[in-house]
Amino acid sequence: MDNKLAVLKGLPEVDKNRMSAMIDHLQLRDSLRMYNSLVERCFTDCVENFTRKTLQKQEETCATRCAEKFLKHSMRLGMRFAELNSQAGTQD
């Protein structure tokens, strides 16, 4: 069993499988929300000209930087959340 289900070891196998599927679904949903948020934010901030099929160089550079910043921020936030979560777990 995955580590994420270690706390469910007392449950019947059917319930473990159901919880695993639910967790996987929630993780996929959160990933898609993050991706959609990234696309919407960077597109809104960077794309200004709709007269061409392709992005202009400055729009492409802006979108790349925006995506990099967003992903770095998300990774840092995740790391900080994990730190706080592990601290809360040791205080119990």
Amino acid at 76: R
pLDDT at 2 over 50: no
pTM, to two decimals: 0.65
Q: How confident is the model at residue 40 (pLDDT cuts 50, 70, 90)?
A: very high
DSSP 11-46: S-HHHHHHHHHHHHHHHHHHHHHHHHHHHHHHHHHH
Q: How confident is the model at residue 36 (pLDDT cuts 50, 70, 90)?
A: very high
What domains are defined for the chain? 8-91 (1.10.287.810)
pLDDT score recorded for residue 3: 54
pLDDT score recorded for residue 5: 53
